[in-house]
Amino acid sequence: MHRDLSMTVLVALLVGCVGDIGEPRTSGPGGRPRPGVPGSPGSVPDVPRTPDGMAICSGGPHVGATPLRRLTRAEYDHTVRDLVGDTTSPARGFTVDETPGGFHANTVAPVAGLAVEQYQTAAEGIASRVNVDAIVACDRAADGEETCARRFIERFALRAFRRPAEPAELTAITALYDGARAAGDDFATAVRLVVEAVLQTPSFLYRQELGAGEVSGTGGTMLRLSGYEVASRLSYFLWQSMPDDDLFAAAAANELTTPAQIEPHVRRMLEDDRAREAVRDFNAQWLELEALDSVTKDPDVYPEFDATLASSMRAETERFLDHVVWEGDRTLRTVLTGNFTFVDGPLAELYGLDAPAGGGLVRVALDAGERSGILTHASLLSTHAKTNQSSPIHRGKFVRERLLCQALPAPPPGLMVVAPDPAPGLTTRQRFAEHSSNEDCATCHRLMDPIGFGFERYDGIGRFRTTDQGLPVDDSGEILGGTDVDGPFRGAPELAQRLAESTQVSECFATQWTRFAIGRADGPADDCVLADVAERFDTAGGDIRELIVAVATSDAFLYRPAYEVAP
């Protein structure tokens, strides 16, 4: 294609794609009071607080720093699928997504070098495969090619940019098309050149939010997002893709400005299969299931572990969570304590169950003394273990960070952390006792290891056991550190029951969903949003779909702070 023309239009459309739009503060437990943090130049003011540190949530919207977001790999693939019908998943080969706040969201590193080449190569491939008649959708014989081209450009730019194109943008894109035709290209080639160029513009690759007016309050000056910007936030949260025609129509009619207007769209979108995919992606990131793809085990210790078994482990957790959210009671309690799961032949053998008929996943009841909810799924237990043994450290750390939203400090500089090798006559618990006695290790490991010891009835691939190195397993555990679940417990099922009753776990789960939705870590300025979302989740009885509605209708979806873009 005409590379010189393509580059010309790209330069013309490069508007507002550089600069630092603020960094999020370090996260803290969801919804809990935090002391005020003094602001720095360009930072978002903290919410006003009472003398004891409680957030005061009256006086206008309160929302934390909102970085500029670039499409993740999943968002890119889903967007080109819905935009031009390309289902080849070209973004699978892109550089790995950034994970601020623990979830995929590209908000940190600028685009340069390899990423630019990847976007260019992907755009060229997509354009070459596009069905021109399908995306133009115009009778060229009746209306004429020039009329059809201009209609296509206006509609395509609207959908690709997720907003109406500016006159200058339309002029530049039309000039690209006209230049190609003047150079002798046919209609289809000129349209493909437009597609190739537009897919490389910042307005396609970034989710730009310029706002539609300022709102002042005790939380500082906020920008109310435009209808098109809200539509994009909703679609990328719930579908990981561009808005559909209904959202575009609502944005054009200025009908996405209040929670009451937004909620019906959220509920409609949750009925779409794309929402199932987005929820599954949240679960995979929250539970770190993606790590299963790279988990390896010592074949001498776990000869049965292979790619097939790992695939079954992930499929079990995905199917279990799909069932809870879309077919079951939809509650976090069942996620943590459900007395059933779904297994196929390889997983049934690992769990000591009868092999199900057929080759797929089949629902089975669980022995409540052995397994209860996701914490006892082999997917989590295998991922948070060593190649040749279980790992109280990793399992305890998972509970702290993913279920209690407590960030643990890094080990002291220069400290080499090496798991002790299995040794005859010593259980894992006995070998890990040094962590609690070594003062360099003790501070963190007293928060992790006592929780992880409660999982010791599961080996490094999640198989239930009663002995370790020929000795009886001691699965007594304890939670320390000022949580509402502090105290001793015995075994993962009892731990799961306690976590299911915890206000802090419920708040953390609401916080994790909010982080997933907004693509960043939460900070003190977000306390009011987090408290509101957590309260609505609690009022709904822990209903996960109602939590999603609460997030999508919160201030975090209607506003962002007003701040200057640094040069």
Q: Are 485 and 451 in contact (CB under 8 A)?
A: no
Structure tokens of 392? 């109280």
Distance CA 104, CA 106 (A): 7
Distance CA 137, CA 147 (A): 12
Q: Are 390 and 451 in contact (CB under 8 A)?
A: no
What is the pLDDT, as a whole number, of residue 434? 63
- 97 φ, ψ (degrees, to nearest 5): -65, 150
Mean pLDDT of each 10-residue bin along the chain, 567 residues long = 49 39 31 31 66 84 91 98 98 93 86 89 98 96 96 98 97 97 97 98 94 87 95 98 98 97 98 97 96 95 96 97 98 98 96 89 94 97 96 95 89 66 84 68 81 97 96 95 93 97 97 96 92 97 98 95 62
Q: Are 29 and 67 in contact (CB under 8 A)?
A: no
What is the pLDDT, as a whole number, of residue 25? 28
Distance CA 556, CA 567 (A): 26
Spell out the long-range contacts of 254-259 with Cβ–Cβ below 8 A and sequence spacing 24 or more.
254/227, 255/227, 256/227, 256/230, 256/231, 257/224, 257/227, 257/230, 257/558, 259/553, 259/554, 259/558
Tell me the one-letter amino acid at 184. G
Distance CA 203, CA 481 (A): 46
Q: Are 522 and 64 in contact (CB under 8 A)?
A: yes
Residue-wise DSSP of 17-43: --S----PPPP-STT---------TTP
- Provide the 3-class DSSP secondary structure of residue 365: strand
Structure tokens of 528? 């009011």
- Provide the 3-class DSSP secondary structure of residue 243: coil
Other C-beta atoms lying within 10 Å of the C-beta of residue 294: 8
What is the pLDDT, as a whole number, of residue 420? 73
Distance from chain centroid for Cα 485: 26
What is the pLDDT, as a whole number, of residue 40? 30
Tell me the one-letter amino acid at 314. R
Give start and end residues of each alpha helix (H) in 378-480.
378-383, 392-398, 428-431, 434-437, 439-452
What is the pLDDT, as a whole number, of residue 481? 86
Q: Are 373 and 496 in contact (CB under 8 A)?
A: yes
Q: Report which of 427, 511, 438, 503 is spatially closest to residue 465, judged by C-alpha positions.
A: 427
Q: Are 395 and 378 in contact (CB under 8 A)?
A: no
Residue entry with tokens 């959708």 = 137
What's the predicted TM-score (pTM) here?
Answer: 0.91
Distance CA 469, CA 423 (A): 7
Residue entry with tokens 């949260």 = 237
Model confidence over 113-164: pLDDT tens digits?
A: 889 999 999 999 999 999 999 999 999 999 999 999 999 999 999 999 999 9
- Provide the 3-class DSSP secondary structure of residue 331: strand
Q: Are 343 and 364 in contact (CB under 8 A)?
A: yes
DSSP at 355: P
- What lies within 8 Å, CB to CB, of 307 at 6+ separation is none
Distance CA 300, CA 320 (A): 31
Distances (CA, A) of 293 to 100, 148, 382, 386: 21, 47, 11, 15
